[in-house]
Amino acid sequence: MHPLDYALFAAYLLALVGVGYYFYRRHRGGEDFFLAGRALGARHVGFSIAATDVGGGFSIGLAGLGFTMGLSASWLLFTGLLGAWLAAVWMIPKVKSREASQRFFTYPDLLRHRYGGRVAMVAAAISAIGYLGFTAAQLLAGAKLAANTLISPDFSTVEPMNLALWLIGGATILYTAFGGLKAVIYTDSVQWLILLLGLGALALPFALAEIGGLTALFVALPEGHGSLTQLAPATALNWLLTITPIWLVAMTLYQRIYACRDIRTAKRAWYLAGFLEYPLMAFSGVLLGMCARVLLPEADAESAVPIMIRDVLPLGLTGIVIAAYFSAIMSTADSCLMASSGNLLNDLLGIRDDSPRTVRLSMLFTLSLGLVAILLASKATSVLDAILMAYGLMVSGLVAPTLACLFWPRIQAGAAMAAMLVGCVTVTLLMLQWVSLPEPLQRWGLEPSVYGLALSLLTLGLAHRLSLFRRTDVVEVME
């Protein structure tokens, strides 16, 4: 890269840290730090949701899937459209109406209101761990991008991936810890626009021009890469059941529901976010991966697009497009880091007053968890695998009790707790390969999260039935 590209990228990072410091000087308390004063409009929230959900992991991961699968990989982000619109219709009215009277602060507060403190504490632990892993996945995506574009192997004696991880992770953690949710949401809006400009209006046209146009791209691709129907049923089911339900339990999304001024604003934000994910981002990311497959067929799937951007774009534009990718990475990493910090500070430690001390503690916890996320990222290899593992933990443990909380009023706290524990234990054992599935189930090709969610829902139903039987026995004895 040319020094001009480095200068543009450095200016971008400094601007982000400056935004964080600007909002840091204006924080009035913990509610302002974590919920932006509960007064945001639909446009900024909608852009922020899309930026957070797609992020660097899905930007890098989606391009990698486009490299290996072709156009059918775009269905990955259709789950975002589906999840966002279902949440807008069914979930937001119920959550926002309760939040208006109860002044919820976090996602576990919803479960606390219905089931009590013990269920909320377990949910907070699951959410905090899941989002810490998700933050690590985003930082890994940033490191892969930087190592293949910004950092030459001769740049220093430090291994490029590790150097990139600490540089990108450090900038993200600093502006998140300073700025809180308000800085996150406003920077996300700008970052999403930079991402669409960089990928759709710059990187993709130049890549297609290098290949010879869209027709030449589809001719040069392997057979089936130009089809939308080359998707295995097991893959479609894995995406549907692992990604779509996250819209019911994501702490990052609950923070934004609470931050919206009313139900109508929140629903408009969610509709906008779904459209931004599919088709806009879905096809831009996949087509870039397909271009990289033609230009760099021997490259690593998740590293091919960053290398292509470095080699194809002219002077000055490379820095802008690399900044666009980093904008996606940071827009997810910052929100996930805020969510994990909020779970730890507000739910597990019970600190949520509006004093300046709470703001300082929030910054300290955010910085500390960010450092842990960097260390976790240094041990991971695949961005998309890390994301799906984090999603799997939260979906398996939290979806069943949340559905019961919102839609099944007769479910008791004991059934909710049992469903959470069974789902989490199941998916953890399967993901860590401490337990193997029977051979017939392995042939189905389903992710551990599918089995975790299924057993969690089954446990919820069985525990509820057992509680009904116990209550019936008690009534008969009393009579």
Write the DSSP assignment of 404-416 as a string of letters. Answer: HHHH-TT--HHHH
Mean pLDDT of 343-366: 80
pLDDT at 211: 95
Alpha-carbon span 470 to 472, nearest angstrom: 5
Q: What is the CATH number of the domain that holds 57?
A: 1.20.1730.10
Instruction: Identify the pLDDT of residue 474.
Output: 35
The band of 126, judged by pLDDT with boundaries at 50, 70 and 90, is very high
**Averaged pLDDT, 230-259:** 90
**Exposure pattern of 369-407 as b/e (b: 16+ CB <10 Å)?**
bbeebbebbbebebbbebbbbbbbbbbbbbbbbbbbbbe
Averaged confidence pLDDT in the chain: 82
- pLDDT at position 115 over 70: yes
Note down the domain range covering 110.
Answer: 3-382
Question: 403 falls in which pLDDT band (50, 70, 90)?
Answer: very high
Beta-ladder partners of 40? 260
Give the SS3 label for residue 133.
helix
Least confident of 67-76, 249-258, 454-463: 249-258
Which pLDDT score is estimated for 25? 62
The burial of 190, by beta-carbon neighbours within 10 Å (0-12 exposed, 13-18 middle, 19 or more buried), is given as middle
Residue 291 forms part of a structural domain = yes
The answer to whether position 451 is within a domain reads no
Residue pair 112/127 in contact (Cβ under 8 Å)? The answer is: no
CB 235 within 8 A of CB 69: no
Residue 72 has pLDDT above 90, yes or no: yes
Provide the pLDDT confidence category of residue 336 given band limits of 50, 70 and 90. Answer: confident
Banded pLDDT at 154 (limits 50, 70, 90): low
Residue 298 lies in a domain: yes
Q: Give the mean pLDDT of 311-323.
A: 75
Please give the average per-residue pLDDT across 60-82, as a whole number.
Answer: 90
Instruction: Determine the pLDDT at residue 155.
Output: 47
The burial of 87, by beta-carbon neighbours within 10 Å (0-12 exposed, 13-18 middle, 19 or more buried), is given as buried
Q: Please check the confidence at residue 267 and state whether its pLDDT lies above 90.
A: yes
Angle CA(449)–CA(452)–CA(457) in degrees, nearest 5? 125
Residue 286 lies in a domain: yes
Task: Classify residue 210: in a domain, yes or no.
Answer: yes
Q: Which residue has the higher pLDDT, 150 or 370?
A: 370
- Residue 376 belongs to some domain of the structure: yes
Q: What is this structure's pTM?
A: 0.82
The answer as to whether 163 is a domain residue is yes
Q: What pLDDT, on a 0 to 100 scale, did the predictor assign at position 313?
A: 77
Give the confidence band of 33 by pLDDT, cuts at 50, 70, 90. Answer: low
The count of structural domains within the chain is 1
Confidence of residue 475 (pLDDT cuts 50, 70, 90): very low
Q: Is the pLDDT of residue 182 over 90?
A: no
Q: Strand, coil or helix: what is 251?
A: helix
| Cα 285 to Cα 476: distance, rounded to the nearest angstrom | 62
CA–CA dist 470, 165 (Å, integer): 54
Residue 416 in any domain: the answer is: no
Task: Give dist(CA 352, CA 289) in Å, integer.
Answer: 44
